[in-house]
Amino acid sequence: MKLFLDFLPLLLFFGTYQFGKFNKDWAAAFATQYLGFAVSGGAVGPEEAPVMLATVVVILATALQVAWLKWHKRKIDLMLWVSLTLVIVLGSATVWLHDAMFIKWKPSIAFWLMAIIFWVSERFFHRNLLRNTMGGEIHLPDVVWRRLLLGWIAFFAAMGAINLWVAHAFSTDAWANFHTFGTYALMGLFIVSQALYIGRHMPDEAAEAPGAEPKAGQDKP
Protein backbone atom coordinates (compact mmCIF):
# COMPACT_ATOMS: atom_id res chain seq x y z
CA MET A 1 0.00 0.00 0.00
CA LYS A 2 2.79 2.41 0.92
CA LEU A 3 4.62 1.73 -2.34
CA PHE A 4 1.43 2.42 -4.29
CA LEU A 5 0.84 5.70 -2.45
CA ASP A 6 4.45 6.77 -3.04
CA PHE A 7 4.21 6.07 -6.75
CA LEU A 8 0.65 7.36 -7.29
CA PRO A 9 1.40 11.13 -7.63
CA LEU A 10 4.06 10.38 -10.23
CA LEU A 11 1.72 8.12 -12.21
CA LEU A 12 -1.00 10.77 -12.11
CA PHE A 13 1.48 13.39 -13.30
CA PHE A 14 2.57 11.18 -16.21
CA GLY A 15 -0.99 10.15 -17.12
CA THR A 16 -2.28 13.72 -17.07
CA TYR A 17 0.65 14.93 -19.13
CA GLN A 18 0.17 12.21 -21.74
CA PHE A 19 -3.57 12.85 -21.98
CA GLY A 20 -3.00 16.59 -22.32
CA LYS A 21 -0.31 16.04 -24.94
CA PHE A 22 -2.74 14.22 -27.21
CA ASN A 23 -5.59 16.66 -26.51
CA LYS A 24 -3.77 19.99 -26.49
CA ASP A 25 -6.67 22.20 -27.52
CA TRP A 26 -8.97 20.71 -24.90
CA ALA A 27 -6.22 20.93 -22.29
CA ALA A 28 -5.59 24.60 -23.11
CA ALA A 29 -9.31 25.46 -22.91
CA PHE A 30 -9.73 23.52 -19.65
CA ALA A 31 -6.65 25.05 -18.05
CA THR A 32 -7.65 28.56 -19.11
CA GLN A 33 -11.16 28.13 -17.74
CA TYR A 34 -10.28 26.57 -14.41
CA LEU A 35 -6.72 27.74 -13.78
CA GLY A 36 -6.82 31.17 -15.39
CA PHE A 37 -6.98 32.85 -11.98
CA ALA A 38 -3.64 31.20 -11.03
CA VAL A 39 -1.86 31.88 -14.32
CA SER A 40 -0.04 35.05 -15.29
CA GLY A 41 -2.07 36.62 -18.11
CA GLY A 42 -5.09 34.43 -17.39
CA ALA A 43 -4.69 32.20 -20.47
CA VAL A 44 -2.90 28.92 -21.16
CA GLY A 45 -1.62 27.96 -24.61
CA PRO A 46 -1.88 24.46 -26.18
CA GLU A 47 1.85 23.75 -25.95
CA GLU A 48 2.14 24.54 -22.25
CA ALA A 49 -1.22 23.19 -21.10
CA PRO A 50 -0.24 19.49 -20.70
CA VAL A 51 2.61 20.08 -18.27
CA MET A 52 0.68 22.76 -16.38
CA LEU A 53 -2.30 20.46 -15.83
CA ALA A 54 0.02 17.64 -14.84
CA THR A 55 1.75 19.95 -12.37
CA VAL A 56 -1.53 20.92 -10.71
CA VAL A 57 -2.50 17.24 -10.48
CA VAL A 58 0.79 16.24 -8.82
CA ILE A 59 0.48 19.11 -6.31
CA LEU A 60 -3.02 17.96 -5.32
CA ALA A 61 -2.05 14.27 -5.31
CA THR A 62 1.00 14.83 -3.07
CA ALA A 63 -1.00 17.00 -0.66
CA LEU A 64 -3.74 14.36 -0.48
CA GLN A 65 -1.12 11.67 0.10
CA VAL A 66 0.24 13.53 3.12
CA ALA A 67 -3.30 14.25 4.37
CA TRP A 68 -4.25 10.57 4.07
CA LEU A 69 -1.17 9.48 6.01
CA LYS A 70 -1.85 12.07 8.73
CA TRP A 71 -5.50 11.02 8.95
CA HIS A 72 -4.51 7.38 9.41
CA LYS A 73 -1.70 8.34 11.80
CA ARG A 74 0.96 6.82 9.57
CA LYS A 75 4.59 7.89 9.59
CA ILE A 76 5.43 10.51 6.96
CA ASP A 77 8.95 10.09 5.65
CA LEU A 78 11.30 13.07 5.48
CA MET A 79 11.54 12.65 1.70
CA LEU A 80 7.77 13.08 1.38
CA TRP A 81 7.80 16.33 3.39
CA VAL A 82 10.61 17.61 1.18
CA SER A 83 8.72 16.54 -1.94
CA LEU A 84 5.50 18.22 -0.82
CA THR A 85 7.23 21.52 -0.06
CA LEU A 86 9.11 21.57 -3.35
CA VAL A 87 6.17 20.51 -5.50
CA ILE A 88 4.01 23.29 -4.04
CA VAL A 89 6.66 26.00 -4.42
CA LEU A 90 8.11 25.00 -7.79
CA GLY A 91 4.82 23.71 -9.16
CA SER A 92 3.14 27.03 -8.37
CA ALA A 93 5.98 28.84 -10.15
CA THR A 94 5.51 26.61 -13.21
CA VAL A 95 1.79 27.38 -13.35
CA TRP A 96 2.04 31.11 -12.69
CA LEU A 97 5.01 31.77 -14.98
CA HIS A 98 4.09 29.29 -17.76
CA ASP A 99 7.54 27.70 -17.36
CA ALA A 100 7.92 23.91 -17.08
CA MET A 101 11.56 24.23 -16.04
CA PHE A 102 10.58 24.96 -12.43
CA ILE A 103 8.84 21.61 -11.97
CA LYS A 104 11.67 19.91 -13.86
CA TRP A 105 14.11 21.22 -11.24
CA LYS A 106 12.06 19.74 -8.41
CA PRO A 107 13.56 16.18 -8.47
CA SER A 108 17.11 17.55 -8.59
CA ILE A 109 16.58 19.85 -5.62
CA ALA A 110 14.87 17.05 -3.68
CA PHE A 111 17.77 14.66 -4.33
CA TRP A 112 20.36 17.26 -3.40
CA LEU A 113 18.53 18.23 -0.21
CA MET A 114 18.44 14.59 0.88
CA ALA A 115 22.16 14.28 0.16
CA ILE A 116 22.86 17.40 2.23
CA ILE A 117 20.64 16.25 5.10
CA PHE A 118 22.34 12.84 5.22
CA TRP A 119 25.81 14.39 5.07
CA VAL A 120 25.18 17.15 7.64
CA SER A 121 23.57 14.72 10.09
CA GLU A 122 26.58 12.40 9.92
CA ARG A 123 29.29 15.05 9.71
CA PHE A 124 28.15 17.48 12.39
CA PHE A 125 25.70 15.52 14.58
CA HIS A 126 27.27 12.05 14.26
CA ARG A 127 23.92 10.56 13.30
CA ASN A 128 23.66 8.05 10.50
CA LEU A 129 20.07 8.57 9.35
CA LEU A 130 20.18 5.40 7.26
CA ARG A 131 21.16 3.40 10.33
CA ASN A 132 18.49 5.12 12.41
CA THR A 133 15.92 3.99 9.85
CA MET A 134 17.11 0.42 9.27
CA GLY A 135 19.29 -0.34 12.28
CA GLY A 136 16.50 -2.00 14.22
CA GLU A 137 16.13 -4.65 11.51
CA ILE A 138 19.68 -5.04 10.20
CA HIS A 139 22.82 -5.44 12.32
CA LEU A 140 26.01 -4.35 10.59
CA PRO A 141 29.45 -3.04 11.65
CA ASP A 142 29.81 0.72 12.00
CA VAL A 143 32.13 0.98 9.00
CA VAL A 144 29.57 -0.75 6.77
CA TRP A 145 26.81 1.62 7.86
CA ARG A 146 29.04 4.58 7.02
CA ARG A 147 29.84 3.19 3.57
CA LEU A 148 26.15 2.62 2.89
CA LEU A 149 25.39 6.19 3.95
CA LEU A 150 28.13 7.61 1.72
CA GLY A 151 26.76 5.50 -1.11
CA TRP A 152 23.31 7.05 -0.73
CA ILE A 153 24.78 10.55 -0.54
CA ALA A 154 26.69 9.96 -3.77
CA PHE A 155 23.62 8.42 -5.41
CA PHE A 156 21.38 11.35 -4.49
CA ALA A 157 23.97 13.84 -5.75
CA ALA A 158 24.36 11.96 -9.04
CA MET A 159 20.61 11.59 -9.58
CA GLY A 160 20.13 15.32 -9.09
CA ALA A 161 22.75 16.03 -11.75
CA ILE A 162 21.31 13.46 -14.18
CA ASN A 163 17.79 14.83 -13.84
CA LEU A 164 19.02 18.36 -14.48
CA TRP A 165 20.93 17.22 -17.57
CA VAL A 166 17.86 15.47 -18.98
CA ALA A 167 15.67 18.49 -18.20
CA HIS A 168 17.93 20.90 -20.10
CA ALA A 169 19.25 18.66 -22.88
CA PHE A 170 16.02 16.93 -23.94
CA SER A 171 12.36 17.70 -24.60
CA THR A 172 9.66 17.80 -21.95
CA ASP A 173 8.40 14.47 -23.32
CA ALA A 174 11.78 12.84 -22.78
CA TRP A 175 12.09 14.34 -19.30
CA ALA A 176 8.60 13.14 -18.31
CA ASN A 177 9.47 9.60 -19.39
CA PHE A 178 12.79 9.68 -17.57
CA HIS A 179 11.23 11.18 -14.43
CA THR A 180 8.51 8.52 -14.34
CA PHE A 181 10.44 5.42 -15.34
CA GLY A 182 14.17 6.13 -15.60
CA THR A 183 14.54 7.54 -12.10
CA TYR A 184 12.89 4.56 -10.46
CA ALA A 185 14.77 2.09 -12.65
CA LEU A 186 18.09 3.61 -11.57
CA MET A 187 16.95 3.69 -7.96
CA GLY A 188 15.93 0.05 -8.16
CA LEU A 189 19.34 -0.94 -9.50
CA PHE A 190 21.06 1.04 -6.76
CA ILE A 191 18.92 -0.57 -4.04
CA VAL A 192 19.74 -4.03 -5.41
CA SER A 193 23.46 -3.20 -5.32
CA GLN A 194 23.09 -1.98 -1.73
CA ALA A 195 21.24 -5.16 -0.78
CA LEU A 196 24.00 -7.30 -2.27
CA TYR A 197 26.62 -5.31 -0.34
CA ILE A 198 24.62 -5.67 2.89
CA GLY A 199 24.31 -9.41 2.29
CA ARG A 200 28.09 -9.77 2.21
CA HIS A 201 28.39 -8.24 5.67
CA MET A 202 25.39 -9.71 7.45
CA PRO A 203 26.36 -11.79 10.50
CA ASP A 204 25.88 -15.52 10.20
CA GLU A 205 23.16 -15.96 12.82
CA ALA A 206 23.27 -19.73 12.59
CA ALA A 207 26.99 -19.78 13.29
CA GLU A 208 26.63 -17.33 16.17
CA ALA A 209 23.81 -19.25 17.86
CA PRO A 210 24.82 -20.93 21.16
CA GLY A 211 25.78 -24.54 20.66
CA ALA A 212 25.87 -24.25 16.88
CA GLU A 213 28.07 -26.70 15.03
CA PRO A 214 31.06 -25.09 13.27
CA LYS A 215 31.04 -24.96 9.51
CA ALA A 216 33.03 -27.44 7.49
CA GLY A 217 36.73 -26.64 7.65
CA GLN A 218 36.41 -24.90 11.04
CA ASP A 219 37.86 -26.38 14.22
CA LYS A 220 35.76 -26.78 17.29
CA PRO A 221 36.92 -24.67 20.22
pLDDT score at 44: 94
Distance CA 150, CA 63 (A): 31
What pLDDT band is residue 215 in, cutting at 50, 70 and 90? Answer: very low
pLDDT score at 211: 52
Distance CA 8, CA 159 (A): 21
Q: What is the mean pLDDT of the chain?
A: 89
Q: Which residues of 117-136 are buried (b: 16+ CB within 10 A; e: fewer)?
A: bbbebbeeeeebbbbeeeee
Q: What is the pLDDT of residues 25-74, one digit of tens each?
A: 999 999 999 999 999 999 999 999 999 999 999 999 999 999 999 998 98
Cα dihedral 27, 30, 33, 35 sign: negative
Distance CA 98, CA 44 (A): 8
Model-level pTM?
0.86
Q: What is the pLDDT of residues 126-167, one digit of tens each?
A: 999 888 887 667 888 889 999 999 999 999 999 999 999 999
What pLDDT band is residue 171 in, cutting at 50, 70 and 90? Answer: very high
